[in-house]
A and B are shown apart, each in its own frame.
Chain A
């Protein structure tokens, strides 16, 4: 075990241990090794995040610095561990990552043959070209310290493929779990939606039972022509785990991508998603919901690149904030010169239940094509007093009226989650959270 403290020293420590780590993956194909080397060079060139950095300007960095973390051993999963926590009683996930390693026990029997799911390091051994670019330094959504760190040091991950024309009959479920005290894990997920495929994938971030893990997740997603993917990234456990999640999506012609990034709880979360609309008539819909309370921090950053004509993007992010929580929404829309007839829409709304909660909402538009339609809007307010009184005048207790208004506010963000059970779970968790 190697102890790592999250500060400027961290980088030097990582640079020192890197050669050893490289040797510990002897079977790794060359392109992966090279990507690690390039990432370590990139890492050497960037400083540890600070408020001087534009993309970290309003982020709370201090909570990242307080703990010392252990890198999990590389002999996992032969290490004896308890079975993964049951997140949804009664059924197994289709895939699980524990401390960044692919988990072979306690996962679904794989009765469905409409998708393939395997260890990312196994998949990387059979280089099919697509993975090569995903490991490149530029393939990171965040282009930041932590994405480079992941590319250099990722342990393992999950590879999912929805083959040509296949459609999953139920959501593919993946659990991301940490076990042990103060574990730093760096998993990767690669989703390959082949032509005309159709899938819904749920990624549950569980963190650790101890509630003090640090997860630096990178996801790469590719949608081939006319593929459809509805991705849900869900965090709900109330703990001190830290989650950095950086998702890079590339879309080909006619593909349709939907994301639901839902952060109901957790000390510290940073969700970065970049979508590149590379093919014409591709369509991206990004939904986000964050409900921090206490001193929780949620940072959502989106970047949509319109690179082809007749593509559309819709973004709806909503926050319900209580206590002295802090949230950031930063939404960038880039429309390239060739992306004529682009239709881009962005909206961020925040409901503040406390006068000590702080939200930073920032749209950024960069448009280089002349025939485009781009709209954006941001609104922040407190609970509507008139609506509260209206509900109460009909016999609802104050708490019930508040719960109903919060649920209604959040409801349209989760409306597009295909799974009814998850949708209801999210809404009842929100109701439970603000039930006082």
Chain B
């Protein structure tokens, strides 16, 4: 699904990602953990095509060079980013927003506009999944939303757009335990077939609900440790200092 090789990214000359290698297969869930400032959100931004980064290396998605595509084409190819800080778009209702998105994606895929009936039943189904009240979709996108509502709206959009690869950027931050359960259920409901996920989080808590196949630890712009889901528990127990040692080790290696 996604193969990343030696991915580097810098902002204003400052290198943040220092060579990431990562492979996500179809149907796999990967967790990325790491301390603040390790480059977790930058990785999410770079993969989804946010302007403003100088990027080098490779990211191949479904056989295509992801880094060459503008963000809208990445989305149309089935990539989705659930934002850590969803943006408020006053004056645009969620329902019109989603309808425009779906139809633009369908235009890209050369399928006709979604029939209104099909769209409405899709919306209704996903609203129930995320336990959103009926009026929710008429509200302007994220305007005046609480932190939890914003995150729920991200997962709602993900559920509606049905992406092949979803990147969740600290979706758990700002969520209370009930909202966390709802959001996790939303994600888990989509874990079928070939859908893949990259779940970025600071804490191990989210990974109790969205159980990953693999976990990677990001530190200082590099993946310093990879393992099975048990790695999350180990991290929780030993803290990030444990992997920072690993980083020192690497620095030492480079110095040789």
Contacts and interface: CB of A to CB of B under 8 A. Distances in A.
B86 A395 contact: no
A214 B209 CA distance: 70
Interface stretch (B47-55, B112-120, B178-186, B200-208): B47-55
Contacts of B102: 395
B104 A395 contact: yes
Nearest to A400: B104
A394 B86 CA distance: 12
B90 interface: yes
Residue among B76, B81, B87, B88 with most chain A CB within 10 A: B87
A393 B71 contact: yes
| Chain B interface residue number, banded | 20 to 34
A397 B72 contact: yes
Interface in A362-411: 384-387, 389-398, 400-401, 404-405, 407-409, 411
B72 A385 contact: no
Contacts of A389: 50-51, 71, 87
B139 to A, nearest CB: 13
B166 to A, nearest CB: 12
B70 A398 contact: yes
Contacts of A405: 89
B104 A396 contact: yes
Contacts of B48: 393
B108 interface: yes
B131 interface: no
B100 A400 contact: yes
A420 interface: no
Nearest to B167: A393
A408 B104 contact: no
Interface in B31-50: 48-50
Contacts of A409: 91
B101 interface: yes
Given A397-B104, A400-B100, A404-B100, A392 B72 contact: yes
A412 B104 CA distance: 25
Interface string B83-108: 10011111110000100111011001
Contacts, number: 70
Contacts of A390: 83, 86-87, 89
Contact of A395 (B51, B83, B89, B105): B105
Contact of A391 (B49, B81, B89, B161): B89
Contact of B75 (A384, A392, A407): A392
B9 to A, nearest CB: 15
Nearest to A397: B72
Given A387-B87, A389-B51, A395 B101 contact: yes
A411 B75 CA distance: 27
Contact of A394 (B51, B70, B91, B161): B161
A401 B72 CA distance: 10
Interface in B145-195: 157, 161
B86 to A, nearest CB: 7
Nearest to A408: B91
B91 A395 contact: no
Contact of A386 (B81, B87, B104): B87
A357 B74 CA distance: 33
Contacts of B72: 392-393, 395-398, 401
B15 to A, nearest CB: 22
Residue among B50, B70, B71, B105 with most chain A CB within 10 A: B71
A60 B90 CA distance: 34
B75 A394 contact: yes
A377 B130 CA distance: 39
B75 A387 contact: no
A409 B88 CA distance: 13
B104 A393 contact: no
Nearest to B45: A389
A408 B97 CA distance: 11
B150 to A, nearest CB: 11
Contacts of A392: 49, 70-72, 75
Contact of B90 (A397, A400, A401, A408): A408
A385 to B, nearest CB: 7
Contacts of A386: 87
A395 B76 contact: yes
A320 B128 CA distance: 39
A385 B104 CA distance: 20
Interface string A301-336: 000000000000000000000000000000000000
Contacts of B76: 395
A387 B51 CA distance: 12
Contacts of A391: 89, 97, 101
A390 B50 CA distance: 9
Contacts of A395: 72, 75-76, 101-102, 104-105, 108, 161
A400 B108 CA distance: 13
Given A387-B87, A408-B91, A393 B81 contact: yes
A413 to B, nearest CB: 10
A405 B74 CA distance: 21
B92 A404 contact: yes
A386 B83 CA distance: 11
B89 A385 contact: no
B127 to A, nearest CB: 17
A303 to B, nearest CB: 29
Contacts of A407: 91
11 contacts: A386-B87, A387-B88, A391-B97, A392-B49, A393-B50, A393-B74, A394-B157, A395-B108, A395-B161, A404-B89, A408-B89
Closest 8 CB pairs of A and B: A408-B91, A395-B75, A390-B87, A395-B105, A392-B71, A394-B101, A411-B91, A392-B72
Interface of B: 48-51, 70-72, 74-76, 80-81, 83, 86-92, 97, 100-102, 104-105, 108, 157, 161
Given A389-B87, A397-B72, A408-B90, 5 more contacts: A391-B89, A391-B97, A393-B74, A401-B72, A404-B92
